[in-house]
Amino acid sequence: MLKIAIYGKGGIGKSTVTGNLAAAFAHLGKRVIQIGCDPKADSTINLLGGTVMPSVMGYIREHDAEPERLEEISRVGFGGVLCIETGGPTPGLGCAGRGIIATFRLLEDMELFDSFNPDVVLYDVLGDVVCGGFAAPIREGYAEKVLIVTSGEKMALYAANNINSAVENFADRGYAKVGGIILNRRNVPDETEKVEAFAKERGLSIVADIPRSDDINRFEDEGKTVIEGDAGLFVSRKFIELAEKLLDEEKL
């Protein structure tokens, strides 16, 4: 089972990247679970036709009880991707990170991985602050590899550095390791040089270079990933090639 946590600064496009990567794995015939670990609970929206699904924490608040069946807190999206959103507390109350921890424990009790038997599990994690529950995919053994989404923008690279440092802090405990950088282009000046220098200084590779594309926005307006919209597009091939690369690395 390939288990990947995708981190990045808020607004950098990590949910777009994660959703398209999930769709790419599904396009390749793999059974995929995508778990959104963000209080906004919108990670899976483009796999679900533009619909925001109920979150785990939202269900618990509404029913004042934990769900008993996986179907109550999951939806099946494009390509059979099983979609789950952790959600978070009522805005202004409680810790969002605790929602992630509570959700993970609940999914363990439900024996999610044994029952669904996925080939790939993707965690879409807010990366501005890598602490508490937001670090759970790294430190609890849920993910084996971390991919960091960044552009060449200063604050995106700053967040990427914090994420890389956080993962390195767990290096001696057998937890997830950084598997590389996904360059999600914003077309800022000298973007290639900035991201390449950042990666080289930290001994990381750029595993994918996603171009800025109007096609992504066009299909998102329709509630779709570009893979669902047109798998033959240049930008779609970038996601499919990344999925193939990650699967090949898993075989090594």
Of 15, 5, 30, whose CA–CA distance to 80 is shortest?
Answer: 30
Sheet containing strand 75-76, edge to edge, reads 75-76, 82-85, 32-37, 120-126, 2-8, 145-150, 177-184, 206-210
Q: Which residues form the catalytic set? A: 9, 14, 40, 128
Residue 208's DSSP bridge partners are 182
Question: Which residue has 């937001």 as its token pair?
Answer: 134
